[in-house]
Amino acid sequence: MNRPFFKSGLIGIGVIIVSLVLMGINPQEVPQMPDGLTTPVLAFEFAQTEQEIVDLFGADPAVKAELVRAFDLGSWVDFGYMLLYAGFLLAFAVQVARVNGRSLFYIAAAVAIIIFLADMLENMQLLGITAALETGHFDRQLTLLPIFTWIKWGGLAIYFLLMTPYFFTKTLFARIIGILAVVTFALGGLAFLHRSAFNEYYAKAIAGMFVLLIVYAFVTKK
């Protein structure tokens, strides 16, 4: 049996491996996070004020230095990670377009490229903030950070939503993926309107969508 998504699935395996590596690199605890957020790297990405950054890293020099080291290492590894996950999304969407014959899915492929560029620019702001943490001169980075963060996170929700016309015409498993894509998009809207625990739920939903697409890539036969 021909497996049309097998090659994209192989990229997906890399996505899972580097995801686990990043979980080990990024800090698991910080001095203080905004209300509703429990994952430090999400708290950093979705930070809105200078005080939130100060609270995140704390006042203890040793703790602050260790957090800067861990966040910076995570950001540098993330440059490779974004190539993998955006490459997976791009390859998956292009293959869907070839199988389905609709140009709509090439739009999803273009969104994957935009996600990659936004993530790269987001990381540059994060690295800029940690570099200027001692001086406190990171206003510009903090202004740009939410723009690129939400282009990335919002782009992911849009990508999965664009894929639903394909999933809703396939197997039961595919239709379940389509339904969850709509739920993920709704969670993204709630997180955008009100930063809170919804951001955590949204991030978990995005992670779940990746896992489902990778599984789909391996089990689907033509």
Residues 23-80: tens digit of each pLDDT: 999 999 999 999 999 999 999 999 999 999 999 999 999 999 999 999 999 999 999 9
Residue 1 scores a pLDDT above 60: no
Residue 213 scores a pLDDT above 80: yes
Q: Distance between CA 37 and CA 57 in Å, rounded?
A: 15
Q: How large is the average pLDDT for residues 186-214?
A: 96
Q: How confident is the model at residue 100 (pLDDT cuts 50, 70, 90)?
A: confident
Q: Distance between CA 71 and CA 195 in Å, rounded?
A: 21
User: CB–CB of 164/212 below 8 Å?
Assistant: no
Neighbours of 208 (CB within 10 A): 14
Q: Which pLDDT score, from 0 to 100, does residue 222 have?
A: 76
Q: Kindly report, residue by residue over 139-198, the tens digit of the pLDDT.
A: 999 999 999 999 999 999 999 999 999 999 889 999 999 999 999 999 999 999 999 999
Instruction: Tell me the domain boundaries of the chain.
Output: 6-219
Kindly calculate the radius of gyration of the chain based on its CA atoms and give it in whole angstroms.
18
Q: Which pLDDT score, from 0 to 100, does residue 3 have?
A: 86
Residues 6+ apart with CB under 8 A from 65: none
Q: How confident is the model at residue 83 (pLDDT cuts 50, 70, 90)?
A: very high
Q: Which pLDDT score, from 0 to 100, does residue 99 have?
A: 87
